[in-house]
Amino acid sequence: MSVWFNPSHAIDQILRQVASETEGFNADFEPGVRPADPKFGDYQANGVLGFAKRNKANPRELGQKLIEAAQASGQFDPELVELSLAGPGFINFKLSPKFIWDWQLAFSTKADYQSGAKELKNGRKVIIDYPSANTAKQAHIGHLRPMVIGQAISRLLDFCGADLVRDNHIGDWGTNFGTLIMKIKRDGIDLSNLGDNALVTLDQLYKDGSALETEQPELRDVSRNELVLLQNGDAENTAIWEQIVEISKVAFDKLFAQMGVEVDITLGESFYRDKVNRIYDELTEIGLAEESDGALVVWHDEVKKFARNNERPYPFNIRKSDGASNYASTDLATVLYRVEEFKAEEIIYLTDARQQDHFQQLFLTTEKWFKAKGYPLPEMSHVFWGTILGSDKKPFKTKSGESIKLQELLDEARSRAYDVVSEKNPDLPEDERRAIAESVGVGAMKYADLSSNRTQDYVFSWDRLLSFEGNTAPYLLYAVARINSIFRKVGVDPEATIEGASPLETEAEMGLARKLMGFVTALELTINDLRPHFLCTYLYELTSAYSTFYNADKVMVDDAAVKARRLILCARTRTVLKTGLELLGIQPLERM
């Protein structure tokens, strides 16, 4: 046997196969392999317990039988892994120091890690719906999290072998266009002439338009009429709308480039405008949707949480009483399109926590509808998050109480990072300090966002996120830069094969080597829960294990074999850290 990249997965597969040929087991058996408490071993299979209970068998006897069959199968080399029965019927797996060392030799590059990780998603067709902002509005701090969390999850899914489509489902068909077009026409504004700050102007025009409607309520009818004209394909309004969408796209593309956001397709709400009638028809035909006060709605009476004051739960409104489509109808049409057009097996939506009800209703409706029609139901999940808070623990705003523009935040990140870098390393040439600040500033902001559990609120603090201590991007980036400097000093290429190493000996070496192997488990955890903070925590712990090793064991020693093996550990730490940072959307640096 050779070492497995992902031991828990390999052990699971082998146990399944061995059990299928062992008396007393059947297809109902799930090995249940997971990382173990280090006191007992590296991995533990606890599936025998539940299986024995269900089948009224003795778990320890069954466990012993499985161990013997597994050993007899020759798939567990006793030099590499030790099996033992424990407690009421657990099976423990302990990897030998030889396994851990062989693993370091067998997997060394990002490509090696990726080829091992790709079985986690195994070619699954996944659509990720992000960052999906609304058009005609400037990006503000509320757009940070979808961009940051969305790109990290996208990169992770891609790395783990998903067949991914990143779909930017922009909100380009809302009622705000009525007001905007009313104001634009009234003032005779030429949208082709707005220059660099076109989106700022549009933002202002909308605000002024709404204010005008408050002053002169009769203008609301004018706006409504402009919207109806647009929805019916009126040439003039369509041309204005197209310009607005284009202006938004240009502005967002500029932000995407700075944020490292990549999307594959941009099919906004407007794309589905001719696809919603089929939704109304099908949902009515199967008896799921019904008219209510002129609107078309779907009731999910079994879900009590949609009820207020013990009344009947409120329904999912899929067509407005004036006949217009809405957020729900376009989302239903979008699910169908993704399944029919892309054969989506999984769809992941990213928005803030306020849209939880919408997505629960959307998922329920889709389930019932697809079941009735016999359509293949994709797995759907809503990745949501909490609020970014200021130091006063209230939503982070400017001093005057306005929302902070995303571009201003990015500019400030760069300039603060430049100051920090200049203070730490005043001798570096100015342009290099600028380049470092670019990666550190934006990276630190991203990392602060990703490293806290996304469902919780977090406090935004420049000092904390730019600190070189603690679970921060600068701390991790600096660790990579320090390892690079070791390799520069010894004149060795960290990516080249290092020959002549002796096997691991010291406790700190073993500790670091085990932690390096934990990369796979961290990826799996992150992907399963779609929570990037698991990967952040892992990278932070890896860096700490590296520091412990580096402080305990000198790398530059005379014994060439010892030096070689320690350099191998440095090289692996560098690769895992770099790979992890890249997956989070953070650019590692040669030096800092």
| Residues binding ligand ARG (CB under 6 A) | 129, 132-134, 169, 171, 331, 334, 349, 351
Nearer residue to ligand ARG within complex by CB, 326 or 526: 326
**10 Å Cβ neighbour count for 59?**
20
Cα separations (Å) of 515 from 89, 406, 538? Answer: 27, 37, 9
Q: How far apart are the C-alpha atoms of 4 and 528, rounded to whole Å? A: 21
In sequence order, what are the residues at sequence separation of 6 or more whose Cβ sits closer than 8 angstroms to the Cβ of residue 512?
A: 545, 546, 548, 549, 569, 573
CB of 131 to ligand ARG, least distance (A): 8
Closest C-alpha to 383, from 322, 450, 482: 450
Using Cβ positions, the residue closest to ligand ARG within the complex turns out to be 171
CB of 338 to ligand ARG, least distance (A): 10
Q: Is 515 exposed, middle or buried (0-12, 13-18, 19+ CB in 10 A)?
A: buried
Nearer residue to ligand ARG within complex by CB, 41 or 174: 174
Torsion angle defined by CA atoms of residues 543, 547, 548 and 553, in that order, rounded to the nearest 10 degrees: 130
Backbone angles phi, psi at 295, to 5 degrees: -90, 165
Q: How far apart are the C-alpha atoms of 583 and 523, rounded to whole Å? A: 10
Query: Two tokens at 508?
Result: 């700190």
**10 Å Cβ neighbour count for 427?**
6
Nearer residue to ligand ARG within complex by CB, 30 or 246: 246
**Is the bond into 131 cis (omega within 30 degrees of 0)?**
yes
CB of 207 to ligand ARG, least distance (A): 17
Nearer residue to ligand ARG within complex by CB, 334 or 579: 334
CB of 235 to ligand ARG, least distance (A): 26
CB of 349 to ligand ARG, least distance (A): 5
Nearer residue to ligand ARG within complex by CB, 132 or 176: 132
Nearer residue to ligand ARG within complex by CB, 12 or 172: 172
Nearer residue to ligand ARG within complex by CB, 351 or 573: 351
CB of 448 to ligand ARG, least distance (A): 22
Cα separations (Å) of 395 from 386, 399, 401? Answer: 10, 12, 10
- What single string gives the DSSP state of each residue in 181-245? HHHHHHHT--GGG-GGGHHHHHHHHHHHHHHHHHH-TTHHHHHHHHHHHHHTT-HHHHHHHHHHH
CB of 133 to ligand ARG, least distance (A): 5
Nearer residue to ligand ARG within complex by CB, 148 or 219: 148
Q: How far apart are the C-alpha atoms of 510 and 515, rounded to whole Å? A: 8
CB of 456 to ligand ARG, least distance (A): 20
Closest C-alpha to 440, from 423, 408, 417: 417
Nearer residue to ligand ARG within complex by CB, 301 or 352: 352
Q: How far apart are the C-alpha atoms of 130 and 154, rounded to whole Å? A: 9
Strand pairing partners for 93?
Answer: 43, 83
CB of 336 to ligand ARG, least distance (A): 13
CB of 416 to ligand ARG, least distance (A): 28
CB of 381 to ligand ARG, least distance (A): 12
CB of 450 to ligand ARG, least distance (A): 20
CB of 426 to ligand ARG, least distance (A): 43
Nearer residue to ligand ARG within complex by CB, 171 or 580: 171
Largest CA distance in the chain: 87
Stretch (H or E) spanning 129: strand 125-129
Q: Are 494 and 570 contacting, i.e. CB atoms less than 8 angstroms apart?
A: yes
Nearer residue to ligand ARG within complex by CB, 331 or 449: 331
Q: Is 26 exposed, middle or buried (0-12, 13-18, 19+ CB in 10 A)?
A: exposed
Nearer residue to ligand ARG within complex by CB, 54 or 278: 278
Cα of first residue to Cα of last residue in the chain, in angstroms, is 42
Q: Are 222 and 182 contacting, i.e. CB atoms less than 8 angstroms apart?
A: yes
Closest C-alpha to 480, from 528, 523, 521, 443: 443
Q: How far apart are the C-alpha atoms of 179 and 563, rounded to whole Å? A: 70
Nearer residue to ligand ARG within complex by CB, 129 or 158: 129
The beta-strand segments (E) located in 360-470 are: 379-383, 388-389, 458-459
CB of 359 to ligand ARG, least distance (A): 8
The SS3 call for residue 346 is strand
Nearer residue to ligand ARG within complex by CB, 121 or 382: 382
